[in-house]
Amino acid sequence: MNVDAHPLTRGVLDGDRRAIAQAITVVEAEGPSAAAIIKAVYHRSGRAYLVGVTGAPGVGKSTLVDRILTVLRSRGRTVGVLAVDPTSPFSGGAVLGDRVRMQTHAADPGVFVRSMATRGQLGGLARATADAAVILDAGGFDVIVIETVGVGQAEIEVSRTADMSIVVTMPGSGDGVQTLKAGVMEIADLFVVNKADHDGADRAVAEIETMLGLNEYGPNDWRPPVLQTRATDGVGVDDVLDTVDRFRTRGGDVAGRRRQARVCGRIRQLVSDRFLEHAEHQVLEPGAFDRLVDRVASAEVDPYTAADAVLDQALGSLRGANRTDDAQPMTAVLDHIGIAVGDLDTALVFYRDALGLELEGVEEVASQHVRAQFVSVGGATLELLEATSPQSAIARSIERRGPGLHHLTLRVADIAVVLARLKARGIRLIDEEPRPGAGGSLVAFIHPSAAHGVLVELKEARGSRAWGRGPGDEDRHAR
Ligand SMILES: Nc1nc2c(ncn2[C@@H]2O[C@H](COP(=O)(O)OP(=O)(O)OP(=O)(O)O)[C@@H](O)[C@H]2O)c(=O)[nH]1
Ligand SMILES: [Mg+2]
């Protein structure tokens, strides 16, 4: 489902609603096309003003946003709304309710309403929301309102996307001022006590003012105003928008710094997400990350050592990638080194006892007449290979050259790409095409004559450990 970013891109930049809607669906899915779209439209973003509206469920955010839409439209501004619900896994009740509530603007081409719900991790929602805001921004909407339900960490993450954050409360305990203690004080640029028709609105305002009184504000600092509204009949909404304009026009340093911090956060997030993704899926063996998690959970390894191990392996693979002179960087990591030994038990006297290396397990591969002992050496593995029959390739290798290095295996992300590139350079291969190895992996051997006397196996990991033996084994030892 690889959506071609380009036709959508043009549509987004033209402000085409269908293209915008589709582009948001793409960024929600978080695939490579998401990055392609953002890359293509980002230069046209940065013009819209992003307003976050946060607050506990039911305080009247959607009703207020609906009123805000009406006023902004009457002031000639176009508005995109992202209704974000980190609490519901799919577009369910609350969000659907929002859509219905904002239906009054459904026919207005100057309004675009979209709900976004958690699909996987909360971080993903914050990223998708930020991307959706970029799309609406590039699509030409003047103001983007991001409504998030609740006042937890996820909402705070999402509200960091905005240029200004409005925290909505209502009179009464419970859902009201109590929830403000959950860290929203710092993100609020404006407090709105909605449902001012209820008893206790003045008290709610006073409580917030008291909390604000605990902070010190310099003469040039923005002290978040506390306003009252009645969203159901629109009372106080003009005041809210005037305050938004006031905050916006005062802009200057604070606004610049906020955008800077936001962009900084975005880049850091993307770098760490991508780095982790690379480490988890392209560097580590399948399942290795989970095993590491288990070992840390059982206190066998501490988290710092675990993190260092992942970093070392990932950085090692990046350094490997940098060494290539081709335009397309190649990522290859050392998976294992196969060593032909005469007798496993004797070999272990050296590898296990003298060197103190950790044994991982033994595997008997009957079809190849070989027994393999895996020995852990940090990120890679040594495979000590003992022949179980004279017909074994290992036996013949020992007969010809004595025991010693038998092969080394490099794990690559895409074996077909690597083979194509080797072929293009006229490198002599044993396997022209990748073939199935153990554990669902794909393997191919490079002829030792091309690799300066070493039998090199390429492996694209797809399952668990790839033994990498198969038909055609004989040819590999012809030197
Ligand atoms: N009396 C009164 N009721 C209001 C006011 N504003 C909203 N409501 C009502 O409060 C209820 C909840 O309003 P919503 O706008 O859905 O609240 P919300 O904060 O968006 O709710 P979630 O999206 O579920 O978090 C609805 O029944 C509204 O009609 C107000 O100013 N006064
Ligand atoms: Mg709502």
Is the CB of 98 inside a 6 Å radius of any atom of ligand 1? Answer: yes
Q: Which of 68-82, 139-153, 177-191, 300-314 has the lowest mean pLDDT?
A: 177-191
Task: Give the separation between CA 359 and CA 348, rounded to whole angstroms.
Answer: 9
Q: Report how far ligand 1's centroid is from the alpha carbon of 57 (Å).
A: 8
pLDDT band at 89 (very low <50, low <70, confident <90, very high): low
Domains of the chain: 1-44 (no CATH), 45-250 (3.40.50.300), 262-322 (no CATH), 332-477 (3.10.180.10)
| Residue with CA nearest ligand 1 atom 26 | 60
In this predicted structure, the answer to whether residue 137 has a pLDDT above a threshold of 90 is: yes
**Range of lowest pLDDT (21-35, 94-108, 124-138):** 94-108
Tell me, what's the pLDDT at 181?
Answer: 59
Residue appearing with tokens 């980002």? 42
Would you state the pLDDT for residue 104?
73
Residue scoring higher pLDDT (420 or 193): 193
Ligand 1, residue 57: give the atom nearest the CA: 25
Mean pLDDT in residue range 135-143: 96
Nearest-atom number in ligand 1 for the CA of 149 is: 25
pLDDT in the model for residue 256: 77
Q: In what order do the strands lie in the sheet with 111-117?
A: 111-117, 79-85, 143-149, 49-55, 164-169, 190-193, 226-228
> Residue 465 has what pLDDT?
38
pLDDT digits (tens, 9 = 90+) for 374-423: 998 877 889 999 999 998 889 998 998 899 999 999 988 888 888 888 88
Say how many Å lie between the CA of residue 67 and the centre of ligand 1.
12
Residue 169 pLDDT exceeds 50? yes
With 90 as the cut, is the pLDDT of residue 469 above it?
no
DSSP letters spanning 338-375: EEEES-HHHHHIIIIIIT-PEEEEEEEEGGGTEEEEEE
What integer pLDDT is reported at residue 457 of this predicted model?
Answer: 94
* Ligand 1 pocket mutation, candidates 232, 235, 240, criterion most atoms within 8 A of CB: 232
Residue with tokens 């209502």: 170
Whole-number pLDDT of residue 466? 35
Q: Residue 349 pLDDT > 50, yes or no?
A: yes
Pocket test residue of 63, 85, 239 for ligand 1, highest count of atoms within 8 A of CB: 63
pLDDT exceeds 60 at position 58: yes
> Could you tell me if 286 and 292 are in contact, meaning their C-beta atoms sit under 8 angstroms apart?
no
Closest CA to 413 of 275, 319, 282: 282
Q: Is the CB of 63 under 6 A from ligand 1?
A: yes
Does the structure show a pLDDT above 60 at 330? no
Determine the average pLDDT of the residues in 277-284.
81
Q: What is the spatial distance between Cα 132 and Cα 130, in angstroms, rounded to a whole number?
A: 5
Share of the chain above pLDDT 70, in %: 82
Judged against a pLDDT cut of 50, whether residue 186 lies above it is answered with: yes
The rounded Å distance from CA 198 to ligand 2 centre is 19
- Substitution site in 53, 54, 62, 147 for ligand 1 pocket (most atoms within 8 Å of beta carbon): 62
Give Cα 207 distance to the centre of its chain: 39
Residue 479 predicted with pLDDT over 50: no
* pLDDT exceeds 70 at position 159: no
C-beta 60 within 6 A of ligand 1: yes
Phi-psi region of 197 (alpha: psi -120 to 50; beta: other; left: phi over 0): alpha
Give 223's DSSP letter: P
Say which ligand is closest to the CA of 87.
1
How confident is the model at residue 260, as a pLDDT?
A: 84
Kindly state if the Cβ of 230 falls inside 6 Å of ligand 1: yes
C-alpha radius of gyration, the chain, whole number: 30
- Residues with Cβ within 8 Å of residue 37, at least 6 apart in sequence: 5, 8, 9, 12, 23, 26, 27, 131, 135
CA pair distance 323, 325, nearest whole angstrom: 6
C-alpha 2 to ligand 2 mean position (Å): 33
- Whether residue 151 has pLDDT greater than 80: no
Indicate whether 472 pLDDT > 60: no
Longest dimension (CA), the chain: 94
Check pLDDT > 50 for residue 103. Answer: yes
Using the CB atoms, write b or e for 259-281: b if 16+ within 10 Å: eeebeeebeeeeeeeebeebbbe
Supply 72's token pair. 């902004």
Those residues whose C-beta lies under 8 Å from the C-beta of residue 404, and which sit 6 or more positions away, are 339, 340
78, pLDDT greater than 90: yes
Section 160-170 average pLDDT: 88
Mean pLDDT value of segment 290-304: 89
Query: Which residue has the least CA distance to atom 2 on ligand 1?
Result: 195
> Mean pLDDT across the chain, nearest whole number?
82
Q: What's the CA gap between 20 and 50, in Å, rounded?
A: 17
pLDDT-based confidence at residue 474 (cuts at 50, 70, 90): very low
What ligand has the least distance to the C-alpha of 176? 1
In angstroms, rounded to a whole number, what is the distance separating the alpha carbons of residues 61 and 169?
Answer: 9
